[in-house]
Amino acid sequence: HNIPKWPSNILKDITENCTVIPDFITENEEMSLLKEIEPHMKRLKYEKSHWDDAIYLYREREQRNWNENNKEVLSRIAKASFPPETIHLSYIHILDLHKDGHIKPHTDSIRYCGNTITGVSLLSDSVMRLRHKDEKDIYIVDLLLKRRSLYKLTGIGRYDFTHEILDQKESNFSGIKVQKNRRISVICRDMPQKEKPPEEL
Ligand code: AKG
């Protein structure tokens, strides 16, 4: 993490709740995931813009069924990221970002995502930038997402900060250029919190 002087409560929350585990999967596990992802993905065309205009040059799909090896990896991701008993979505979101693509600052809608977003990065390193929603040029954290690492966003990083993936020209971390190529992320989310039942009259 790359953090300027911040109020200690924000700093503590973001440091505890927005984490990256390097080498979360092995090269073999990365290959095994790609083998199951690529045949479907390569039939799709890269899109220039997303329905809410958050992503540039990407293709995506959701996958529910996986082979046994990959299932094991996916359950390790869930175990590392969600508190026990959390119900996470059974569809895994797979996002293929072109070398020249990027993801603009956004927060995931509470209609589709609960408290946690977690993802493993395949094929390329990249930089994820978190910006505070009200102080977007002051409270900024960059996370280096190395190939095969697992990131997790929860707490204020999920709700009070936007996240984005920098385009290749801007991809620097601690002053060092990060080579961003085509990147595939395998993303898990927990279920949105159920709405409170209406109060009885
Ligand atoms: C999201 O799921 O909201 C993202 O921005 C995905 C980030 C990623 O590619 O890992």
- Our answer on whether the CB atom of 119 is closer than 6 Å to any ligand 1 atom is yes
**In the predicted structure, residue 192 carries a pLDDT above the cut 90:** no
Nearest CA to ligand 1 atom 10: 185
Amino acid at 165: I
**C-alpha 59 to ligand 1 mean position (Å):** 12
pLDDT digits (tens, 9 = 90+) for 15-33: 999 999 999 999 999 999 9
Nearest CA to ligand 1 atom 1: 108
- Our answer on whether the CB atom of 185 is closer than 6 Å to any ligand 1 atom is yes
> Cα torsion for 67, 30, 122, 147, to the nearest 10°?
150
b (16+ CB within 10 A) / e for 96-121: bbbeebbbbeebbeeeebbbbbbbbb
Q: How confident is the model at residue 2 (pLDDT cuts 50, 70, 90)?
A: low
pLDDT digits (tens, 9 = 90+) for 136-178: 999 999 999 999 999 999 999 999 999 999 999 999 999 999 9
Question: 159 with 107: CB under 8 angstroms?
Answer: yes
**C-alpha 200 to ligand 1 mean position (Å):** 39
**C-alpha 135 to ligand 1 mean position (Å):** 21
ipTM passes above 0.95 = yes
Strand partners, 6: none
